[in-house]
Structure 1
């Protein structure tokens, strides 16, 4: 491992040297400034220390170098003048030398030995010093500072999360953390109904330009709700806690999408207002869908069903918010906000051709057009009151959240006649859904003694989800639709859930280098589910669960840190798993939720180590995750060889994982960070009947690299690539994919504005993802293709003079944190609709 790291760093060093040499062409070879950089505490060489030659008058960088393994550096590529030499390295205080004058008589200068002092590193936080700290490592979380990543302009939150260590996001925006999709996603520490209903949809509503940072919490404390087996993701949007007024305009025009955003803020004395809006459209989103399905009949014959369709999608997203803060006095603070969101996505499958053969003899061909509307709008209303005390760290807060998300998931399936010339019949499914939440939360924090903190609180969530669905049929292209009189296809489903919780958490630092955080949480959940027009539902028992959590860390020398953690998590099924609406947009693959699902239980164990090595920050994390009562799809074959999918609590999942993250900073201009993650998955549905029993296992890999280089005259280049390998599932695999992007940006008018050009996936015309389903009677191989090449022009400009002032800028804001709901099983997912999302 050490040899590999040294080789990697040597390659990056060579790049940096070549860049420096490129700037030195045309100068006299005998101009040279040399020296050696040592650690003042132990006189050891500081390899890869950054050395810059700065013009003494203009303060502009003239040349630079990077120290070698022995700490030795040589600067060349400059001319006569007066200069200062600046030396810096992660974890050390920067140093600037006295004035140096280069003349015709003295063209070389030996600075001798330069010693750097180590910076003090706080026990509770280790910061990775990159270009404005793109990645930060803290005791209980990893933070990705998205506002410093210019390649994200024109994207959405799913593009941001693809760059975050330990996270994986597929082409449809579905998020997983270290292989688990059972995660909680928060917005500014709160969860809204849009997130609870469908994380992928919520991420597409949030513009990348509005995101300040992303926090990844792999081992949540007792303060957080018990849901989210994989952990917690907190997306923090940009806020203005400053005095004055500002207006920010950002836009992007591209080949496949455009956006426009306007945000304004006003802060005067104790009160502040924020008003913002952002709209984004997507077009030219073309692709295809292929599916090969083999079904073994009881008599030994094999039926082959093949499908193909061209796909096209159009999208329109918007998000608008109004925020208000008021500092009553030194110890009392109020915040309130209203947020509106909209997401309209229309998908079309043109010419969905289905051929059915028996033992390779063609029996039928059916041609269809499928139009799917996936629409939603949501509103969130937040209120928070915080009271602090003279005693430092003591605080009480009460938070409220009302959230509503309205969903429309409709489709029309038009079937052509035998000659494929005209439409003979149509099927329409209307599915209107509503998800409402009201949450009240109390939190109290008090220091007990020096380095000891006690937190406790209570919370209640009232949730109501409704799905109103109906099927209609019509003859010919213009015939009137008639509702199907069958309660299985036309009904109204109501799901009420009440979660009451209390928690206590204790944090202490001891023996100077150790930190401990432990807690216990208890949650009691009651559920009722009813159908308006039938007795299809069943009794769902109430349940209570104890949720312990333990986090222990030890600070090592030079800011290194080792951590160990254990926690138990609960994953309740979301409406996507529960929804009894039968989605048959693709008649050969239909999906229906199960209202009687129970929650999953997961025990998580992990250990991590963070260190500085040869100019790099490295983090190694290993973990084990054991899930019982896992919600898994169950697939059976119906009449006419239709694959029917529903969900049951019949699975057990185990995952053994390792992730490695590295951040390398070569001088003040060039930095690289990346990660490699892998886990071994074992899945078993626990059934003994050989017709339905299923198990699977295998390794899953993913990785990413981000590079940033600052050029003269306020130019900046950023590059990014992400690759996710094939994922192991209970009954097969889902294919891997990769994305990449390159961005050039130039700042102007004292960095108030910037303009740039970006390109994404410019060498790949079509992305293809290959999925496979294997059961004793079913073999299905499907391919989803999407044209994802994109070119864009970015523009950003800020108007207004701002200054950091007032106690409000130091106020820590609290709010509701609903950790909620296992996602997936959507009736409009790729399997059900032929892969067109």
Structure 2
């Protein structure tokens, strides 16, 4: 057996040592701060006692002059620290609520710490009557650290998959094969309910295609996460939050949808929930069918001199039509039980089972430089894929007597299986009269099984009024087995293809620990965190009896500085270090054929890529956010194209390029131009600069890109609501390739019925069918162009109805964990 062992990426001690010393200094010094000035805190709630997040809270002198401002956090809490002695008032204002002003109070030597308790806002009945759906959350909410898309409120989400929803998310771009990038940065970590899935990009894409919008509550986008989250995901984190009913009593909902693109689409969903003071039992199931037909044009030019340019000696023209029917089944079953006021346990089972068919017909013409037909080929590729994802979770939450101090624990097991049955038939047609055609047949059986074992604990403690500590430990073990078998048909008999077949096993362990310290200073706050991760991977190429072992330890610091200015402005500076590990589909060197002239092949010697990311952002009134970012990635993993001229064959394989520099500026605005028109708009200008070595030659590929996304909601009265959304992406670069721009416009209308317990939705997605993928690669001997036209224009009609008790519970219990399944490192 050939064994390779590497130590992984080097630790940059020159940068980290000063940071670690500084963190240690801060940790020792924090408890020593004397409370020389006052501290004022409180919690904003609605008439039912439910916390109200992100409302404006102003600290005023007794005469009404503004001192400083803040926003309530996600739990409704606010804090003013380092307040000088004097007489003050606190004023709270929020949309759809009457303003509230407290009585005056005094900060003095005898009264340094003041807790105002619950500040209960009263609803503005006039405003509530004027705005029919003011109780609903906005379609898109922007905070200083993340963007939240409330999917369940969107008309345009109907009949879509999770992957299609991401295509319309601000700053997010989905590539032709499901690759996801954020603000021009690839390597995005996609989480479901806060949990990494540990799936390969292809398997993740399939899973997201199989996740229906009817089961999704919201999508959270974080471009610069803290040390509490996994260090994976160079492009940031996208968290898909599934629906969880928090209403008391017995209640539920049912929905149906149907429509068509180039083929039919339809689905249904049912959810049930029962909740009382001690127990919450919930379950849901949805089924979806998505018919889809897409078209692909693929042109390759070959040059005898080995350099692309001038007149090609021959050219390959390929056109493909693919039918891709998809059947999906999603189910969820959970139980939360409150042992007492301090302890809660929970059980949860998530499942996603589906079937996907790739049925394509391809024609290929190889033509010489003078126009003579060299060969003609006709290929059929029938690939039947089945997958099953099951996740089992046990969680525990303990609330201490001290408010805000909590301990949670989780244990998870995820079983993931993907199976592909591939039949590839190619007929070489006669180019002249009298010649006989030649037919070759290849079949493949590609199973991928991945098991994930995960355990984690988290502890949170507000040490003082101005200091909060978060810490935790996490361990994950992943085991993957991919046994690819190819057979070829020879004289009517199927024979094992030893050259194309391959058996690859992959094991990975990641053990992590983190701490975050949040400190309120006079006029600003700092959150500093440090995460350490030990990684050990083992890739066993059973076919060639070779073993690649890699182990390394990495530190991932993060720092966030937040400063409110007055009552309307907020500035934040952020830094974090992150990692993107290659999944086993990238590492497995087996070949997967799309057709006889195109295959994909992994690279077992890939190194993880590391990124340092910086961001400076400004928020005005919580509605307008401007962010400037700079990111540098080393050993960036990029899929690059190669070419075997003698065989007229193209292949793609992942490689480590030297670095990627990404920088840009983005602007997000939440607008209410008119009382009945709300919108969220996102614009981003960024530049990507790839630098590296390909085939022993250095290259630089760079461009400046622009993207724009706008989502608008209109209240038309009498229970009608309309939506209009659109996005535009200019040209961009990836590795040695260049992508053309694309855009899409979608619209929809909703009518509330049955005393607002039901609604009817009608939507049209990508009205002009303009969302397409066009790629140009011209480097050394490679000259190729791809034009992919997905089945993006679709018309959908849906009906939903809510039944049972619809009152929100005053208790908002959550499971101790909401974060497992997303790098299951699958194959192919």
Q: 2:94 & 2:274 partners in 1: Cα distance? A: 37
- Judged with a 3 Å threshold, the aligned counterparts in structure 2 of structure 1 residues 376 and 581 are, in CA distance, closer, same or farther, namely farther
Partner residue, 1:281: 289
Distance 1:418-1:684 versus aligned 2 partners, 3 A rule: same
Indicate the larger mover: 300-309 or 148-157: 300-309
DSSP-derived class of the 1:200 partner: helix
Instruction: Count residues with an aligned counterpart.
Output: 698
Structure 1: runs of 5 or more not aligned: 1-39, 44-87, 97-118, 121-128, 828-837
Q: CA deviation at 1:307?
A: 1.1
Equivalent-residue separation in structure 1 for 2:817 and 2:733 (angstroms): 37
Q: 1:605 to 1:408 in 2, by over 3 A?
A: same
Match of 2:445 among 430, 433, 442: 430
1:83 counterpart residue number:
none
Over residues 50-109 of structure 1, what are the superposed CA-to-partner deviations in whole Å (9 max), with x where a residue is unaligned? xxxxxxxxxxxxxxxxxxxxxxxxxxxxxxxxxxxxxx997696599xxxxxxxxxxxxx
- Give the match for residue 620 of structure 2: 611
Question: How much does 1:299 deviate?
Answer: 7.4
- How far apart in 2 are the matches of 1:349 and 1:688? 32
Q: Distance in 1 between matches of 2:503 and 2:694?
A: 32
The match for 1:628 is 634
TM-aligned CA deviation for residue 215 of structure 1: 1.6
Name 1:710's counterpart in structure 2. 715
In 2, Cα distance between equivalents of 1:695 and 1:341: 42
Query: How large is the RMSD of aligned CA atoms in angstroms?
Result: 2.8
Alignment-derived partner of residue 538 in structure 2: 528
Contact in 2 for aligned 1:404/1:435 (Cα 8 Å): yes
Tell me, in whole angstroms, the C-alpha distance in 2 between the residues paired with 1:587 and 1:351: 11
2:592 is paired with a residue of what secondary structure?
Answer: coil
- Could you say if the C-alpha distance between residues 299 and 551 of structure 1 is closer, same or farther in structure 2, counting changes exceeding 3 Å? closer
Question: Bigger CA drift: 543-552 or 309-318?
Answer: 309-318
Does residue 741 (structure 1) correspond to residue 724 (structure 2)? The answer is: no
Q: How do residues 642-681 of structure 1 correspond to structure 2 at under 5 angstroms?
A: 642-681=649-688
Q: Partners of 2:468 and 2:617 in 1: how far apart?
A: 24
Task: Provide closer, same or farther for how the CA distance between residues 803 and 621 of structure 1 changes in structure 2, counting only shifts above 3 A.
Answer: same
Structure 2 unaligned blocks of 5 or more:
1-62, 67-91, 101-120, 123-133
SS at match of 1:576: helix
Confirm whether residue 415 of structure 1 aligns to residue 417 of structure 2.
no
- 2:576 paired with 1:570: no
Paired with 2:302 and 2:223, the residues of 1 have a C-alpha distance of 41
Is the Cα–Cα contact under 8 Å of residues 507 and 539 in structure 2 kept in the other structure? Answer: yes
Partners of 1:185 and 1:819 within 8 A in 2:
no
Give the conservation status (yes or no) of the 8 Å contact 1:272–1:325.
Answer: yes
Whether the 8 Å contact between 2:197 and 2:823 is mirrored in structure 1 is: no
Supply the distance in 2 between the matched residues of 1:376 and 1:423 (Cα, whole angstroms). 35
1:685 aligns with 2:692: yes
Question: Cα offset for 1:821?
Answer: 4.7
Per the alignment, residue 73 of structure 2 pairs with none
The residue that corresponds to 1:804 in the other structure is: 808
* C-alpha distance in 1 between matches for 2:753 and 2:822: 43
Distance across 2 between alignment mates of 1:768 and 1:446: 49
Match for 2:409 among 374, 391, 398? 398
Aligned to 1:349: 360
**Structure 1 residues 707, 152: CA separation in 2 closer, same or farther (over 3 Å shift)?**
same
TM-score, normalised relative to structure 2: 0.80
Q: Name whichever of 238-247 and 618-627 sits farther off.
A: 238-247
Query: 1:92-107 residue pairs with structure 2 within 5 A?
Result: none
CA contact (8 A) 2:247 2:805 kept: no
Distance between the aligned counterparts of 2:143 and 2:774, measured in 1?
A: 38
Separation (CA, whole Å) in 2 of partners of 1:95 and 1:333: 36
Evaluate the alpha carbon distance shift between residue 704 and residue 131 of structure 1 in structure 2; reply closer, same or farther with a 3 A threshold.
Answer: farther
How far apart, CA to CA, are the structure 2 residues paired with 1:332 and 1:42?
A: 45
Q: How does 1:354-369 map to 2 (within 5 A)?
A: 354-357=365-368, 360-369=371-380
Residue of 813, 816, 822 corresponding to 2:815: 813
Q: 1:340-375 CA distances to partner (integer Å, 9 max, x unpaired)?
A: 112322122224223243564432112211222333
Using the size of structure 1 for normalisation, the TM-score is: 0.79
Shift of 1:538: 4.1
Deviation at 1:727, TM superposition (A): 2.1
Of stretches 333-342 and 161-170 in structure 1, the one that deviates more from structure 2 is 161-170
Alignment partners' CA distance in 2, 1:663 and 1:90: 15
1:784 is the counterpart of 2:788:
yes
Alpha-carbon separation, structure 2, partners of 1:661 and 1:463: 38
What's the offset of the Cα at 1:823?
Answer: 8.7
Native 8 Å contact 2:171 2:707 kept in 1: no
Following superposition, the deviation at residue 577 of structure 1 comes to 1.2
Q: Note if contact 2:155-2:762 (Cα within 8 Å) is conserved in structure 1.
A: no
Contact 1:547–1:567 (CA under 8 A) maintained in structure 2: yes
Question: Which residue of 1 is the match for residue 74 of structure 2?
Answer: none
1:482-532 CA-to-partner distances (Å, cap 9, x unmatched) read: 21133xx22210010111111111012221x31211111111111111122
**Residue 242 of structure 2 corresponds to residue 237 of structure 1:** yes
- 2:140 corresponds in structure 1 to 135
**Match of residue 541 from structure 1:** 550
Q: Give the Cα–Cα distance (whole angstroms) in 2 for the partners of residues 592 and 302 of structure 1.
A: 27
Q: Are 2:473 and 1:464 aligned?
A: no
Q: Give yes or no for the alignment of 1:308 onto 2:319.
A: yes
